[in-house]
Amino acid sequence: MSAPTDPPVPRPLPERATCALFLVVLALHLAAVTVGWRHGMLPGNTFRQAQTALTTYFIAQEPGLSLAYPTPVLGKPWSIPMEFPLYEWTVAGLRRLSSLPLVECARLVTLACFYLTLPALWWLLAEFGVDRARRWLVLAFVPACPVYVFYSRAVLIESMALMFAAWFLTAFLTGLRRASGRWLLAAMLLGVIAILAKVTTVFLFLVPAGGFLLHPAWRAARAESAARAGSWRRVAWAAASLVPIAAAGLAWVAYGDAVKAHNPAADMLMSGPQRLYNFGVLADRWSGEYWRRWSGMVCTAAIHPAVLAAVALAAGLAARRWRSWILGGAALFFLAPAVFPFLYAWHDYYYYANAAFLAVAMGFAAVAVLDSRLPRALGALLVIGGLFLQGRLYATHYLPQQRIASDGQTGLSRALYDLTAPDDVLVVAGQDWNAELPWATRRRALMIRHGFEENDAYLRRAFGDLRGEFVAALVITGDVPNRAGLVELARTSLGICPEPIFAYENSQVFVNAAIRDEWSSRLPLYAQDRVQVLSRNESARTPLAGDPRKIHGRAVFDGLAPSLVRYEVPYTLVRHPLRDRTVFSLHAPGRLWFDPGAGRHGVRIGFGILDSAWQGDARTNGVDFQLRAVTSTGSRLLWHRLLDPAANPADRGPQAARCTVELQPGEQLQVFTDPNGSNSFDWAYIAELRIE
């Protein structure tokens, strides 16, 4: 395919200026993406992000790589494969290699894929003969799209699918123009990966790939007889490179259907129902509700209304050289909602796949403005104004969500996380198949889909499939009185007590009879989290002591050395939320005993006092964190650090220390939080304790 044949542009753009503009936009993009980077909350279609995060979490727990990967939200069998899990494998691999939280690993992968998409677009423009200065200007509008800021930090497969699709199109065009078998082979491989990652994304790039074939096919038809065979051979090889891509997509759909068929609740995820969900019906495309929602999505995720109007005006006034780019980019952008009406009317993150086409249209509209008869300074001002409006659109709709400082946890999820064991299963009704609670608790779940709560045949099969699993709790959200049949079946099939043990907002929790007494004695007093204890326990405000190894759900002790053998805490066993994690509450006076054996040991401890203990009306007078060597007859001090955050700003926030201790035979290592006088507001915590 040859480059455009328009005459050279009379007024060249200064490359330094357009490159500088691109770099400024890219720097602002990076600054915006990292707002709330460490927050555990997943803003922006949390339903889908939580599902991807949950899948990745359980993939990381398993050895090896399996195509029938776990997404434990619909009960057993736990696998309901949708996309090929390359994104999840990549995130899980990064998680294993680093000490970063899984959400941050996922965000790094997402952002890296977006940035690796930009060179593909640069190369693609170069293949069409667009000069460097104009390439920088066009590319500046890609990271300026709100959807590419907000969702380039999401736990979603979108950016990886876009990256492979963009590189596929670039390799395909390069192979066509250069008659290169190597480039066409690369395009085939990239296209296979892209279609496995997300078929609705790569479809949008297969359309222009097919369009690129038309030009050499037309030339082959017009070629002289001597050259015609070679031209058609070149076209045939290019077309043949697309066949494995389609075949891979069909094969993956067939495989996914075969696995999903084993789960009684996964029928709506099979290719048949999904086809109707993806493509809709003709009436959807003429629905007023569809157009209202679709236009709202476009003017939220992709383009400011004023910029859209300016692009339309520029398309009418631009030189033919740039008009084709503007109209072509806009046409490919609008093709997506025309083909997938429901997806693009209800899910803003889907615009990640096609917003690049609209960004290209915006970029060439800016090129047309600068190449017009307007004074160059006025044109530059208009271009910068357009980028500013794009940034303002993001700041209005998406930035406030990123600024919410939340770990994504609720009183319900914290209690379930603390009180259940990692291998336990939850049964949840009234939340459809939303993965948010399973992700927040890091537990496998049978999420009973809407409409199945009273389906006796389904419930009996789903509960029967859980045979051999320990179902720790049943959570019912919403209409609890009308779920008596579900509760009774859970009692007879799963051993769930028929009386709820606690409530949170409009949810009630029923516990397995085997651990009800344990829960009654351990149930955290989450008054600040609006948890209402329905089974009263008079010992809840008295000190708790015991052997942590005998506690069913040991998650409350996460981050502490496995040699923990005894605990003694005032009031309750609980974890406090702190930034993007939770920490073990060791309200003074509290004690933890560890038995690592005699000898020299390196100790690493993360500790602190909650900010709420010294802010506002609360005024702790400090806590002395101590490490002691203890026996049944006495103790000796090995290390200590007094924190008084109200008086000393250096004592505020998370603290860390390392030390070496020497234990004699018969001695254990004790962590002790000693009140510095009164223990009022002594909300001390241990973030981690490692003994080497």
Q: What confidence score (pLDDT) does residue 607 get? A: 97
Q: What confidence score (pLDDT) does residue 524 get? A: 52
Percentage above 70 pLDDT, the chain: 92
Sheet of strand 507-511, all strands in order from the earlier edge strand to the far edge = 444-448, 425-429, 471-477, 507-511, 502-504, 531-533
Q: What confidence score (pLDDT) does residue 542 get? A: 57
pLDDT digits (tens, 9 = 90+) for 59-111: 998 888 899 999 999 999 999 999 999 999 999 999 999 889 999 999 999 99
Q: What confidence score (pLDDT) does residue 282 get? A: 74
Residues 6+ apart with CB under 8 A from 651: 609, 622, 643, 644, 645
**Cβ contact 62:422 at 8 Å:** no
pLDDT at residue 131 is higher than 50: yes
Name the residue among 148, 234, 245, 152 with its Cα closest to residue 203: 245
**Spatial distance between the Cα atoms of 500 and 482, rounded to a whole number of angstroms:** 14
Q: What confidence score (pLDDT) does residue 672 get? A: 96
- Averaged pLDDT, 407-412: 88
Confidence band for 517, pLDDT divided at 50, 70 and 90: confident
In Å, how far from its chain's centre is CA 665? 49
pLDDT digits (tens, 9 = 90+) for 578-606: 766 788 989 999 999 999 999 999 999 99
Q: What confidence score (pLDDT) does residue 286 get? A: 78
pLDDT at residue 525 is higher than 60: no
pLDDT digits (tens, 9 = 90+) for 328-349: 999 999 999 989 988 998 899 9
- Averaged pLDDT, 633-658: 93
pLDDT digits (tens, 9 = 90+) for 564-575: 999 998 867 777
Residue pointed to by tokens 């600054």? 31
Q: What confidence score (pLDDT) does residue 230 get? A: 55
**Spatial distance between the Cα atoms of 218 and 315, rounded to a whole number of angstroms:** 27
Residues 6+ apart with CB under 8 A from 380: 370
Distances in Å between the Cα of 226 and the Cα atoms of 217, 223, 230, 238, 405 are 16, 8, 8, 20, 70
Confidence band for 400, pLDDT divided at 50, 70 and 90: very high
* Residue with more model confidence, 544 or 182: 182
Q: What confidence score (pLDDT) does residue 7 get? A: 45
Q: What confidence score (pLDDT) does residue 277 get? A: 75
Q: What confidence score (pLDDT) does residue 431 get? A: 95
Domains along the sequence of the chain with CATH = 159-261 (no CATH), 411-541 (3.40.190), 544-691 (2.60.120.260)
pLDDT at residue 364 is higher than 70: yes
Confidence band for 262, pLDDT divided at 50, 70 and 90: very high
Max CA-CA distance within the chain?
103
Q: What confidence score (pLDDT) does residue 546 get? A: 84
pLDDT digits (tens, 9 = 90+) for 530-543: 778 786 544 444 56
The vertex-639 CA angle with 634 and 644, nearest 5°, equals 110
pLDDT at residue 554 is higher than 80: no
**106 is written with which tokens?**
């996922």
Q: What confidence score (pLDDT) does residue 221 get? A: 61
**679 is written with which tokens?**
């223990």
Residues 6+ apart with CB under 8 A from 574: 418, 524, 525, 526, 556, 585
* Residue with more model confidence, 276 or 181: 181
pLDDT at residue 559 is higher than 70: yes
Average pLDDT of the chain, as a whole number: 89
- Averaged pLDDT, 165-188: 93
pLDDT digits (tens, 9 = 90+) for 7-18: 445 578 899 999
Global pTM? 0.82
pLDDT at residue 396 is higher than 50: yes
Burial tier of 276 (Cβ tally within 10 Å: 0-12, 13-18, 19+): exposed
In Å, how far from its chain's centre is CA 340? 23
pLDDT digits (tens, 9 = 90+) for 605-614: 999 999 888 8
**Spatial distance between the Cα atoms of 164 and 169, rounded to a whole number of angstroms:** 9
* Residue with more model confidence, 215 or 325: 325
Name the residue among 643, 637, 669 with its Cα closest to residue 656: 643
In Å, how far from its chain's centre is CA 256? 22
Within a 13 Å sphere around the CA of 198, how many CA atoms are in the beta-carbon half? 21
